[in-house]
Amino acid sequence: MNGIWGRSLLLLALLVSGCFILWPIFGAIAAISVLAAALLAIVVLHLYHISMLLKWLRHPTPEAEPQSFGVWDEAFAALYRMLRRQRRSESQLTATLNDFQLAGAAMPDGMVILDQADRIEWCNPRAERHFGLDRQRDSGQQITYLVRHPQFAEKLRSQNYSEALTLRQFRGSDLILSIQIVPYGDRQKLVISRDITDLERVETMRRDFIANVSHELRTPLTVLSGFLETISDSRAAVNDLLRRSLPLMMDQARRMQNLIEDLLALSRLESASTPLRDERVNVPDLARTLYHDAMALSAGRHRIVLELECGDWLIGSEDELRSAFSNLIGNAIRYTPESGEVAISWQRCGDQAVFAVRDNGIGIQPQHIPRLTERFYRVDRSRSRETGGTGLGLAIVKHVLNRHQGWLEVVSEPGRGSTFSARFPAQRVVPEETEETLVRTA
């Protein structure tokens, strides 16, 4: 740029100098006329080059670059280099986009890219099959106009993308899809779909197998337990071997019955065909009942405390909530040494309601906490056998809370105890004053 200005100033200086040289020889009019003609020629030359530039910019190709000299030659050369760089960048971007599309087409999962208004920008062939889309035809269309499913539309509207969404009997078929929405960029979204029909079929077979086996085992175990109790109460149990073995046999029979009952309960909770029966549940009264049950289970070996800090009710299934809460309380009593304390509380935390069970028992190591709700997972297998647990209690708690849009929080420190908190969202909570108004109205 400095060179261009320098040459322009030098040319202007030469013209002015020539004018002053011609002035004494040919007179002022001739000198000014020559200067004006030179300036006019320069203006015409620039206008000509500007017209060439505008013509080239309409179809800028490196092959049609205008040829010139001086300043305009440098300008055209700079534009030529810039155009070449742009063409190389476009080629690289095109190659990258083609690679992305090829990789997306090879993905075993469906992929749909949405803009900030949930319009379709791109989708791969697997997503076309999953959602019945056509990439060419449906590009730019609102996805909720094409994927007509209330749960999917609600997922997009709520912007709660932390958990996957399962769509069953989708598009009038047996297809089951797992949908994960991932936000990225400038409010764009990536919709990932996975066909889990076969996995769900295997899971259904597993649940049916457990339920059927549990039903088949329940009757013979009931008969065995009955005869064991009869023999134990009769005078025939005078043999020392019988006197020692019958109590052990009865304990193991009861343990197997508890295991079967928990398996059946878990099977019912996992079954999609079992809808949640919503009713108003008087949690304070339920907590008082569970407190008395805990006193009986402890049999004076622990200090049981009940802390009712609010009178709110819940919308849900009383039987399922009773099962979940009693499992939390039973675990606390089983894993708390004698003379320990177990506190049962019901309280409000902001807009959430929390049923918590706190103990000062043995505690849990941090690495075990994420796996506590897995079926049959035991932190200490030998202690679990001693306490008579089935290993399914927290799995039942997890499924009950999921059916009530709640979740389980565990805070524990080895040697100092644990706190298990069942948290329920605001839409499940009936505030105390609301419930009192309903009772008075009734």
Q: What would the DSSP string read from start to end of 78-143?
A: HHHHHHHHHHHHHHHHHHHHHHHHHHHHH-SSEEEEE-TTSBEEEE-HHHHHHHT--HHHHTTSBH
Query: What local confidence, expressed as pLDDT, does residue 439 receive?
Result: 46
The predicted model gives 273-282 an average pLDDT of 81
Q: Please, are residues 392 and 374 in contact by the beta-carbon 8 Å criterion?
A: no
Q: What pLDDT, on the 0 to 100 scale, is given for residue 348? A: 93
Residue 188 in tokens: 């764009």
51-98 pLDDT, tens per residue?
877 777 777 776 666 777 667 777 777 777 887 888 888 888 877 777
Answer with the residue of higher pLDDT: 103 or 413.
413
Q: Would you state the pLDDT for residue 271?
A: 67
Could you tell me the pLDDT band of residue 167, with boundaries at 50, 70 and 90?
confident
Q: What is the pLDDT of residues 240-264, one digit of tens each?
A: 666 666 677 777 777 777 777 777 7
Q: pLDDT tens digits for 288-307?
A: 999 999 999 898 999 999 99
For position 253, what pLDDT does the model report?
73
Percent of the chain whose predicted confidence (pLDDT) is above 70:
77
Place of tokens 């322009």: 8
Joined tokens for residue 426: 């605001």
The segment with the largest mean pLDDT, out of 130-134, 312-316, 438-442, is 312-316
Q: Reduced to 3 states, what is the DSSP secondary structure of residue 408?
A: strand
Q: Given 3-state DSSP classes, what are the helix, strand and coil percentages for the chain, each rounded to the nearest 5? A: 60, 15, 25
Q: According to the model, what pLDDT value does residue 48 have? A: 77
Name which residue leads in pLDDT, 48 or 400: 400
Give the residue, 270 or 286, on which the prediction is more confident: 286
Highest averaged pLDDT of the listed ranges 182-196, 228-242, 243-257, 306-320: 306-320
How far is the CA of 412 from the CAs of 68, 325, 342, 416, in angstroms?
81, 18, 14, 8
In this predicted structure, the answer to whether residue 441 has a pLDDT above a threshold of 50 is: no
Q: What pLDDT sits at residue 371?
A: 84
Lowest-pLDDT choice from 224-228, 338-342, 402-406: 224-228
Helix axes 70-106, 2-26, angle to 10 degrees: 160
Cα(376)–Cα(388) distance, integer angstroms = 13
Is residue 438's pLDDT more than 50? no
How confident is residue 147, by pLDDT bands cut at 50, 70 and 90?
Answer: confident
Asked if 200 and 206 count as a contact pair (C-beta separation under 8 A), the reply is: no
pLDDT given for residue 232 in this prediction: 67
**Dist. CA 309–CA 438, nearest whole Å:** 21
Supply the pLDDT for residue 25: 67
Name which residue leads in pLDDT, 324 or 387.
Answer: 324
- Cβ atoms of 267 and 211 closer than 8 Å: yes
Whether pLDDT at 105 is above 80: no
Q: For residues 181-192, give the mean pLDDT.
A: 88
CA atoms of 149 and 130, how far apart (whole Å): 13
Query: Measuring CA to CA, how many Å separate 437 from each of 148, 347, 430, 434, 440?
Result: 40, 20, 11, 5, 5
410 pLDDT more than 90:
yes
- Give the C-alpha separation, 69 to 67, whole Å: 7
Q: Delineate the domains of the chain, giving CATH numbers in brackets.
A: 2-95 (no CATH), 108-195 (3.30.450.20), 203-270 (1.10.287.130), 279-437 (3.30.565.10)
Kindly calculate the radius of gyration of the chain based on its CA atoms and give it in whole angstroms: 40
- Residue 1, pLDDT score: 47
Average the pLDDT over 30-41 and give the result: 71
In whole angstroms, what is the distance from residue 122 CA to residue 190 CA? 10
Mean pLDDT over each residue of the chain, to the nearest integer: 80
